[in-house]
Amino acid sequence: MNRENKIIQNNSVGLVKTQAFTFDSLKLESGERFGPVTLAFETYGTLNKEKSNAVLIVHALSGDAHAAGLHENEKDPGWWDAFIGPGKAFDTDKYFVICSNILGGCKGSTGPSSLNPATGAPYALDFPLISINDMVNAQKRLVDHLGIDKLLSVVGGSMGGQQVLSWLVNHPNKILSAIPIATTIRHSPQQIAFNEVGRQSIMADAHWKSGNYYGGSAPSKGLAVARMVGHITYMSDKSMAEKFGRTKKGPGETFKFTADFEVEGYLRYRGDNFVKRFDANSYLYITKAMDNFDASGGKRLCEILRGSKVKVLVISFKSDWLYPGYQSKEIVKACKLAGVETTYCEIDSTYGHDAFLLEVDEEAHLIRHFLKKVFYAYEVTGNYGE
């Protein structure tokens, strides 16, 4: 099946540009006030008169604001293009879709590689420790700035799903619905362990220099290894077997530890490519925010959600062993116990965690119908079903 062709042939939102929104400062969860803060974002479709059709899409660890359409002179569309556009799940003929980059990132938003106005040099490790809730609080400022009082939905997979849960818990009056995908209330030790290995790999690189590598050589080898570990966890045993088998590459080179198997070449390629577009310090800060995240702040999630009117759609994938189905079921259970209207679907996929980006048909179908229902309920009643 040729997914690439499919993505390009479908209706596209066309040429798009990343925008930036800057505000003075943000009070972080740690108590520290930090600023100025810039968030990169993109929008697709048109905000209606009632400002009731806005959907916020939040991204995973290595994502960015470019979720759909094409940037000028680039041939690859945004990372969730198959889901966003005229007639697609996030139908831009109906909805106003916002995709926001995150605080701490390196894709146009303020992060450790940004210049610290106090010193004129990059923050590096002077950048404050941030949390998933901080990322969401910054997004809320963007949504306010766009004049939107209430989002029709907030949607995201993986770390995006953590942000969705943060919206659900901390800003229930700002959203009508929430779609957390392939995510968890809090990381398990295994999830923390994989992230920690990535961090250790970066910090083991002699070029890392306690984060002060800007202007010199970046810790590319360490970051590449971190990304390779990540890629293994994003796929499944089965999807790797289907994609690579034990196929060997062409005639062996003379070096003993060359990439003999296709899977080795693939990982090296992915690792090398990643370092061209991602900042190692951002990788440290973001993974730490994921590991520290606990949607319910140590309390029982069902207690916190009690009385919430937000409609929830939880999606997981059968072969996802990084964010296994049982973690999504914990979210569903907490919602149900709290009396929150919740739908759950585990999609039968072999793609592993990557499925949230790849299982276009079933996932898009679920999202399309869920959004329609929420939007229709609003249009008919003129209120938010409260």
> CB-wise, 51 or 231, nearer to a second copy?
231
DSSP code at position 319: T
β-pair type (19-23, 33-34): unpaired
> CB-wise, 216 or 382, nearer to a second copy?
216
CA dist 83 and 100 (Å) reads 16
The answer to whether the bond into 36 is cis (omega within 30° of 0) is yes
Closest CA relative to residue 159, chosen from 339, 292, 259, 70:
292
CA dist 267 and 247 (Å) reads 14
Closest CA relative to residue 168, chosen from 157, 159, 177, 181:
177
> CB-wise, 146 or 203, nearer to a second copy?
203
Residue 10: CB minimum distance to a second copy, A: 30
Residue 381: CB minimum distance to a second copy, A: 41
> CB-wise, 59 or 199, nearer to a second copy?
199
The 10 Å Cβ neighbour count of residue 231 is 17
Residue 230: CB minimum distance to a second copy, A: 10
Element (H, E) at 228: helix 220-234
> CB-wise, 29 or 264, nearer to a second copy?
264
Widest Cα–Cα separation across the chain: 72
So which residues are the catalytic ones? 158, 320, 353
β-pair type (90-91, 84-85): parallel
In angstroms, the Cα distances linking 270 to 183, 224, 282 are: 23, 8, 18
Residue 285: CB minimum distance to a second copy, A: 8
Residue 109: CB minimum distance to a second copy, A: 19
Residues making contact with a second copy (CB under 8 A)? 125, 129, 186-190, 192-194, 196-197, 199-201, 203-206, 221-222, 224-225, 228-229, 231-232, 235, 237, 240-241, 243-246, 256-257, 259-264, 267-268, 271, 284, 288, 291-292, 294, 321, 324
DSSP code at position 124: G
